[in-house]
Amino acid sequence: MRVVECRACLQGGCFERMRLNVSKHDFKFLTHFNSIKKMRFTKMHGAGNDYVYVDCFQEPVPSDPSSLAVAVSDRHKGVGSDGLILICPSDQADAQMRMFNADGSESAMCGNGIRCVAKYVFDHGLCQKSRMTIETGAGILALDVEEENGKVQQVRVDMGEPILLASEIPTTLAGNPDLNHHVINVPLSVGGHEFAVNCISMGNPHCVIFVDKATDDLVLKIGSRIENDERFPQRVNVEFVELVSPTEVRQRTWERGSGETMACGTGASAVCVAGVLSGKTERKITNHLLGGTLLIEWDESTNHVFKTGPAVEVFNGDWDD
C-alpha cells in the first residue's frame, strides 16, 4: 500500500489522505473528501452569448460572485464564458437573475442571458409556465416560452421601455434639440474617428453607431475606447451596426466588461430603438449577430421592446470552490 495525498493536501488545504491498493486498483478512503467543495454549474448560450449558470435554488449563493465570474469566464483556465449568471429564488417573481461580466462587474440585465434563465427554470422543473416573470436589476420582466417535447427552444422577452434621458442612460453627451433632446445622431469624436451616435439604456447603457462596415478596427480598437470614455460615467456597451434594409441589420458588439461577444440582447433591442428614432429602420427588424439571429420589435402602442430568440443548454459540470 502506498500513501497518496489528495490535491487539497498538496495545496495545504487539508490533511485528508487516501490509500491506493495497487494490486486491486481501487481506492480505500481513510477519510472523506467533503472538505473539497464543488459547485454544480450549467453552460448555456443565447445566440452564442454564453454564460456559466448556477442554480441557487439548489446551490448556496457564492460568497464572492465577482471573483467567481472572473475565474469561470477564463477561456483558457476556466469554463470559458462571457460571464456568470446566478438563478435565485425571488419573492416577487418566478425567479431572480444576477449577472456578472467576465471582468467581475455586475450588470442589471442581460437580454440573451434572461432567455437562458427562462429555459433553465422551465426545463429543470422550477417553473413550468408558458408565461413567467424574472426579477432583474432592471426590474421584473415577462417572458413567453416556446417549448417542444418538454424543452424550451425559443423565448420572447418583454424588455420593457427604452430609457432615453441622458442622465438616466447615463451619458454626459448633450441631447439633440431636434429630437426631444434625446442622444440621437449626436456627434462623438474618438480615436480619430467621427461618429453620429445614438445612446439608449435597456437596463444597461448602449451606444449604437450605424456604419458602412463593422470592421475589426472599429469593434476591437475603437469599441474599447468608447466603452471607457469619460462621457459614459458607468462605461457603455457599443454596437456597430450595418444597415441591410429598413427591416434588417447586422450587429457587432463590444460589451462592457467582456469585450466583443457573439451577441447582445439588450444591445439588439437598443439598435431597434436607435434605428426608429434616427429614421433608419422600421419598428420590427431582424438582427443578425455573430452568434445567431434575433427578432426585435419596438411596439408603438405599449412603448415596450420585445425580443425573440433561441436558448441552448450546452453542458453541465462541477467547479471546485
DSSP secondary structure string, 147-181? EETTEEEEEEEEEEPPB--GGGTT--SPPBGGGTT
The catalytically annotated residue of 110, 116, 207, 272 is 110
Cβ-count burial 283-304 (b if 16+ within 10 Å, e if not): bebebbbbbbbbbbbbeeeeeb
Answer yes or no: 56 catalytic: no
Answer yes or no: 9 catalytic: no
Rounded to whole angstroms, the Cα distance separating 286 from 295 reads: 5
Strand positions, DSSP E, 6-138 = 17-21, 26-29, 38-46, 49-55, 83-88, 95-101, 106-107, 131-136
Tell me the residue length of the chain.
321
The catalytically annotated residue of 6, 56, 116, 264 is 264
Cβ-count burial 223-241 (b if 16+ within 10 Å, e if not): bbebbebebbeeebbbbbb
Q: How many CB atoms sit inside 10 A of residue 33's CB?
A: 14
- C-alpha cell read off for 199: 445612446
* Residues with active-site annotation: 110, 264
